[in-house]
Chain A
Amino acid sequence: MTIHDKTLSRRSILKGTAGLVVAFYLPKAAKAQSGAAQGFTPATGPANFAPNAFIRVAGDNTVTVVSKHIEMGQGTYTGLTVIVAEELDADWSQMRVEGAPSDAKLYNNLAFGPIQGTGGSSAMANSYEQLRKAGATARAMLVQAAANSWNVPAADITVTNGVLKHAGSNHEGKFGEFADAAAKLPVPANVQLKDPAKFTLIGKDGVVKKLDVKSKTNGSAQYTIDIHAPNMLTVVVAHPPRFGAKVASVDDSETRKIAGVVDVKTLPSGVAVYADGMWPAIKGRAALKITWDDSAAEKRGTPELLQEYRALAQKPGTVAGSHGDAEAAFANAGKVIEAEFVFPYLAHAPMEPLDGYIEWDGQQALARYGCQFQTFDHGSIAGVLGLKPEQVKIDMLYAGGSFGRRAQTTSHLAAELAEAAKAIGPGKPVKLVWTREDDIRGGYYRPMVLHRMRGAVKDGKIVGWTDRVVGQSIMKGSPLEVMIKDGVDPTSVEGSKELPYDVADFHCDLHTTDVAVPVLWWRSVGHTHTGYAVECFVDELLQAEGKDPVAGRLEMMSKQPRAAGVLRAVAELAKWTGPAPGNGRARGVAVVESFDSFIAQIAEVSIGENGEPRVHKVWCAVDCGVAINPSLIRAQMEGGIGFGIGHILFGEVPIAQGAVVPKNFDTYRSLRINEMPEIEITILKSSEKPTGVGEPGVPPIGPAVANAMAALGLQRPRQLPMVRGAVS
């Protein structure tokens, strides 16, 4: 997911939602804040020395990094801790990490302005300088404390693997010994950062192990769904089968007969069953007899929407990007090629379904869950419960995946959680759990999108290009609506409104549709469809000119050195000699920049015995600036590729007359281990500032597979998923 448009931070707006007033304003330079939190009291637990909101050094030598970003599988907890450990010259074994509480003053995402939250593959990018400074500050203070105690100049003290040393006087000590003394020193305003040439952790392979792995291999890692508390009630909610429907009447008599069911309440979002465990709650919900008021509900299905989208694509839309004169290029073209690409609604289906826990006594509320957008959720919970912001606290727990699903601009989950607590009354802790069916059928999908493309080819060159995009806006109706400029939601056309290729005459426009199916960012957002449309179409045009997909692209990338760099690197890695290695297999290539990272991939594909495309191997080249943790970067590429393949092959949420068709993993097919390709990755050396890797691995794989299919003599699939009507 994302709030990655840089203009966000430069805009000053006020927008209300559920009692929340958000001001987006950030003069960037003024916000550098490490070391500025003098007098900061640590959020939890003991610490002898807490020089800022991000670091706590305890007497037992442990150093705890407070992560303002959620750990949902992308490796943030480890990645952020590495930055601090590097500047501190700490030993990796003494490092710990914990999630920050909701406090936007201390823990805002610098890429989002004054908003605390995780997304847009921004965790590393916005924390890098901040945590380097935080770590360097803590180091300087520990060194000063040691210098005072040993009565030697601070400049003569070295720090290695968490040990402070003064060679001349033979003094030696660990962080814990100086924590109390360091805490009494003034926080220096300006500290020297380490020379990157001296890094021992950042960019080094295999020197750090992920901090959360052990607890995630023995069952001890605590997720929201694992919370149990005295008197806690488990809640499941019956949501309307059609988006926009309301409860007309409820007969809960059968539900109340089920042992373990405690109560039934109607919430704004549906009918909640409160029980003393998950099973009675599920059974109780199944026994409800609800009449839904469908008068305001969405009744169109995906076939009707597709028809409407096709009709819209015949008419000009709102201009998103344009240069030269595309119409003239088409008038003079030697050859004109057209293509329509259709993308389905997609569910995120994180492995841990949505859930949340809340305690509320009428005065204070404590919510604990895999909260990804703290500032929005915080306001929403306070609004529902009629509390002041300072009466609400949110603890951020591990999330069992998200892929954008927990980054809710509308805070619908936080609101439902607070409503569930409010309806049953204060003093009753509530755990709200969505089942997989709730998740698959609950909306907030990657929007259904149609691209209508035209390309003009003349004298072996692509001279004209148009792309008409039709689909729902993610930002419309959310607190981020202000990001929509001149009628264009940037997330609808990112990757489409300008090309990485030199094309003289270009035009991209957009139709934003109105559909009651809620949509949301989904791992790599607009690039999920624009990457596919652009990279399939450019490949098709190059094929029409008889050009090699790699060399042909490179000819047109004069202004894209980093994208060209990864393309060259992946061609070298795969020993690319063209799209046809033989033995029934073919190769396709694609390169996509997203979230300021550059990824190129080559996929080797055949058609399997079951008639489905089979991806055998993927080569991947990454340029994400300074590579902080190579193993984490590779993991995100592997995961992004698998996530991408699963969805281009099988992912689809069809809707029939307003009702979602798939229910669970039996009808929303997920990639399985036997469908996962072998993967080889190269990370380019770079001194550019670090950029994200959580999302950018996803966009290139779809078009790479499609282009391989074209090389096999098949069509590039123009309507996804490639395997339609897929059930496992």
Chain B
Amino acid sequence: MPAYSVKVNGQIHQVDVLPDTPLLWVLRDNLKLTGTKFGCGVAQCGACTVFMDGNALRSCSLPVSALGTSEITTIEGVAGKEAEAVQKAWVALDVPQCGYCQSGQIMSAVALLKEVPKPTDRDIDLAMNGNICRCATYVRIRAGIHDAAKSLEG
């Protein structure tokens, strides 16, 4: 099997996998970064959301061979003021229920706040509607994003 070099959370790893292996399974099975979740495998649910060079990406749908020299950030490595604000708001509002979708939700929310520091409800709808939550924690996700945005203002 070919060897690929992937840069994740600031570290370079060598992995021996099939070229069409989705980044998701490289992260989970090879690097044991299991915070990124499998929910559908077909870019429908957002549970697998990571950053590629800072942009939100569905890792289930990117083959490792297409990664090139891009840098990946996962929930384990996400940092910065937006990430802190989002995670804090999530805890304050008790957002997660089963929690399984939440790594993806948080990654998408952080990506949104980096681009739109003060998102409207419509901005939230557009940025977050790729992330399914079967527990339907959406009310608190929305409130959490607004609260995080507010805390970043001050």
Q: Which residues of A contact B (CB under 8 A)?
A: 72-75, 209-210, 212-223, 225-226, 228, 234, 258-260, 277-280, 282-283, 349-353, 398-403, 433, 435-436, 631-632, 635, 638-643, 646, 664-666, 670-674, 676, 678-679, 728
Contacts and interface: CB of A to CB of B under 8 A. Distances in A.
Most B CB within 10 A of own CB, among A75, A433, A666 = A666
A462 to B, nearest CB: 34
Given A279-B25, A351-B45, A673-B129, A212 B38 contact: no
A674 B25 CA distance: 29
B79 to A, nearest CB: 11
A209 B98 contact: no
A646 B136 contact: yes
B23 to A, nearest CB: 10
B141 to A, nearest CB: 6
B59 interface: no
Given A278-B38, A631-B94, A638-B140, A349 B134 contact: yes
Interface of B: 1, 17-18, 20-22, 25, 28-30, 32-42, 44-45, 47, 74-76, 87, 90-91, 94-103, 106, 124-126, 128-129, 131-142
A420 B125 CA distance: 42
A73 B38 contact: no
B136 A641 contact: yes
A643 B134 contact: yes
A347 to B, nearest CB: 10
Given A217-B102, A218-B87, 18 more contacts: A72-B98, A73-B98, A209-B94, A212-B96, A216-B96, A218-B75, A277-B25, A279-B18, A279-B21, A279-B29, A283-B20, A351-B98, A351-B134, A352-B100, A642-B136, A665-B44, A665-B132, A679-B139
Given A283-B18, A665-B42, A665-B44, A277 B29 contact: yes
A351 B25 contact: no
Contact of B136 (A72, A225, A399, A671): A671
Contacts of A223: 37, 100
Query: Taking chain B's interface residues, is the majority helix, strand, or loop, or is none over half, making it mixed?
Result: loop
- Residue in B30, B41, B95, B128 with the greatest tally of chain A CB atoms within 10 Å: B41
A223 B20 CA distance: 26
B90 A217 contact: yes
Given A213-B90, A399-B98, A664-B40, A278 B136 contact: no
Contacts of B22: 279
A643 B139 CA distance: 12
A640 B22 CA distance: 33
Given A210-B94, A260-B18, A673 B124 contact: yes
B1 A218 contact: no
Contact of A73 (B29, B37, B97): B97
Nearest to A439: B40
B74 A214 contact: no
A352 B37 contact: yes
A403 B134 contact: yes
Given A209-B94, A226-B34, A676-B138, A398 B41 contact: no
Given A639-B137, A673-B125, A676-B139, A217 B96 contact: yes
A646 B133 CA distance: 11
Contacts of B132: 351, 665, 670-672
Contacts of B102: 216-217
Given A435-B41, A642-B138, A676-B136, A219 B76 contact: yes
B18 to A, nearest CB: 6
21 contacts: A73-B99, A213-B94, A217-B91, A218-B75, A219-B74, A228-B34, A234-B29, A259-B1, A277-B30, A279-B22, A279-B29, A283-B20, A353-B39, A398-B99, A399-B98, A401-B135, A631-B94, A670-B45, A673-B125, A674-B125, A728-B44
Contacts of A632: 94
Contacts of A670: 45, 132, 134
Nearest to B97: A73
A679 B20 CA distance: 44
A217 B124 CA distance: 19
A350 B99 CA distance: 11
A673 B142 contact: yes
Nearest to B106: A217
Nearest to A666: B44
Contacts of A222: 34
A678 B75 CA distance: 28
Given A436-B41, A728-B44, A213 B96 contact: yes
Contacts of B30: 277
Contact of A217 (B18, B41, B87, B98): B87
B84 to A, nearest CB: 11
